[in-house]
Amino acid sequence: MVTGLGATTPLGGDVPSTWAGLLAGDSGISAIEEDWAAGLPVRIAGRLRVEPSEVIDRVQARRLDRCEQIALIAAREAWADAGRPDVEPERLAVVIGTGTGGALSMLGQDDVLEASGVRKVSPHTVPMLMANGPAAWVSIELGAKGGAHTPVSACASGAEAIAMGLDLIRLGRADVVVAGGAEACIHPLPLAGFAQAKAHSTRNDAPQQASRPFDTHRDGFVIGEGAALVVLERADFAAARAARVHAVLAGAGVTSDAHHITSAHPEGQVRAMRLALASAGLGPLDVQHVHAHATSTPKGDLTEAESIAEAIGLHPAVTATKSMTGHLFGAAGALGAVSVILSLRDRVIPATRNLDDLDPQVKLDVVAGRPRRGTLGAALTNSFGFGGHNASLVFTAERA
C-alpha cells in the first residue's frame, strides 16, 4: 500500500504544488543566470522551485549535500502524509536511489582544495559526497533500523529503489519502507559532458519549450533536480492502523540490457514491462495509463515508444512529465511513480507539454493539450538509465 507521498521539484516544494503544476502544464525549466554558465553550450535547467535553505535548518544544511537536503525534505513530507506510522525500528527500512549522489559537494570541495589547500576542506566532505548519504540521513531522521539501501543505476535509480522496497515487504523483511530517489547535480561539468555527448537540448533562448518528448523537433533532455519519495506498507499493517491509501504498488520489473553503456536496447525495456505486469498478476490490456520515461532525446523516445507498443499495446493513454520538470536523473523514476499514483487516485492524467507535432513514428496515444480525465484501474511507469538499466512499476487504484 502507498500511504505517503513527498517531493520537492522544479514545479513546487511539495507534492500538492508539484501535482498542481503538472496538471496546469507549467514549466519548471529556466535559464541559468550564474556567471559560470556563460561559456557553456547549455544554459538551461530545471531548478528547484523552493530552495532547500528555506526549509532545512541552517546548521544542519551546512553538513549536508544538496542531494541529502532534498531527500530529507521529501521524506519529512511523505512520513507526515502517511500519518507517521508507529512501526518497530527494525521493521522500517529506507531505500533511496541516486545517479550521482553528492556530486556538488565533491566538485565544490575539490575546487576548495585546489584554490586554498587542505586546511580549508570541510570535515563533512566524505559524508556529503557519499551516494548513500540521502538514505543514511533519512534513516537517521526516522530511526529506521531495517536497512538503508542505495541503488545507483543512473536514471532508473528512483524506480529501482521503489522496486526494492516492494521486495523487502514481500520477503517479510520490513513492514514499512520509505523509498524513492534524489538528485542535485546542476553544475558546469555534467552540463558540459551532456552537451559534448549531444544529449542535452540547446534551446537556450526558449527554456520552457526545450523539453519536448515525442515531438518531431525534440533535440535532447533538460537537466533537472529534485527528490520524490513514497511510503510503502504491508497491506495488513496499513489496514490495522486504518491508514489512508493513495494507491497500490502491484508489481515491479527490473532488467539490464548488457548491450551498450549509453544506447538502450528495446528488448530490455520490453522485458522490464512484462516482468512488472507478471509481478502484478496483470495483462497488457489491464493497463490504461503509461507514464513514459521519455527524456526528449531523438533516439531514446522512439525506442521507448516501440517498446511500449510491443509490451503493452497502443491502447493506454501515455504521458511524459519531463516536458515540465526536466530530467531528474536518479529521482526521475520516483517522481514518475508519484505522478502515476496521483493519476490513479484523482482519475486524471497530466498532458505532455510542448507536444506540438507528434513524431509520425510514434504510434502511441500521447496525452497532449489538456489533462485527460477518467477512471483508471492500473498504470505503469518506466525508467531507463545509462548502463542499460530498466525499471518498470505497476500501480493499481486502491478502490480496485
**Whose grid coordinates read 515540465?**
324
Strand arrangement of the beta sheet that strand 378-385 belongs to: 148-149, 92-97, 176-183, 226-233, 2-8, 247-256, 389-397, 378-385, 289-291, 317-319, 365-366
Place of cell 505503469: 380
> With contact defined as beta carbons under 8 Å apart, do 321 and 381 qualify?
no
Residues 229, 182, 152, 301: is their CA dihedral positive or negative?
Answer: positive
Residue with cell 530511526: 143
Angle at 79 between CA 77 and CA 85, to 5 degrees: 160
327 catalytic per annotation: yes
- Is residue 155 part of the annotated active site? The answer reads yes
Catalytic residue chosen out of the listed positions 149, 289, 291, 293? 293
Please report, for residues 5, 119, 207, 300, the alpha-carbon distance to residue 116 in angstroms, rounded to integers and kept in the order given: 42, 8, 36, 43
Q: Which of 246, 291, 327, 389 is catalytic?
A: 327
Q: Which candidate, 379, 331, 389, places its Cα nearest to that of 75?
A: 331
The one catalytic residue among 149, 155, 187, 291: 155
- Cell digits of residue 321: 512529465
Kindly give the pairing relationship between strand 372-373 and strand 92-97: unpaired
Q: How far apart are CA 300 and CA 345, in angstroms?
A: 29
Could you list the active site residues? Answer: 155, 293, 327
